[in-house]
Amino acid sequence: MILEPTTLKRIVRSVLSTCPDEIGCDECFEQLDRFVELKLAGKNAAEAMPLVQDHLDRCPDCREEFEALLAVLRYMT
C-alpha cells in the first residue's frame, strides 16, 4: 500500500492534534467552496459544516480567504 503525501499529512495531523475534530488550513480550504456555496444559497453553512466554521472562527488567514471567495461569488452571481 502506497500512501499519498496528503494522506500521510492527514494521519500525522490527526495523531498530533489535541482535538481530533479540528481541521487544518488545507482541509478548510478544500471544503471552503462548498461552504461558501451553502452560504450563498441561504443555507445554514455553519450547521452543515461545523468544522469549517470552527476553523474560520480561529484562523484569520482562512477567514480572509473565505471573505474574499464570498465577495467574488456574490459579485459573479
Residue 25 interacts with Zn ion (CB under 5 A)?
yes
Size of the residue set binding Zn ion (CB under 5 A): 3
Binding test (CB under 5 A) with Zn ion, winner from 52, 62, 66, 69: 62
What distance in Å separates the CA atoms of residue 71 and residue 52, rounded to the nearest whole number?
18
Among 3-11, 13-21, 36-44, 60-68, which window interacts with Zn ion (CB under 5 A)?
60-68
Q: Who's near 13: CB < 8 A, 6+ residues apart?
A: 24
> 38, 51, 59, 70: which one contacts Zn ion (CB under 5 A)?
59
- The answer to whether the beta carbons of residues 35 and 45 sit under 8 Å apart is yes
Distance CA 33, CA 49 (A): 12
Applying CB under 5 A, does 52 fall inside the site for Zn ion? Answer: no
Q: C-alpha cell of 1?
A: 500500500
Q: Name the site residues for Zn ion (rule: CB under 5 A).
A: 25, 59, 62
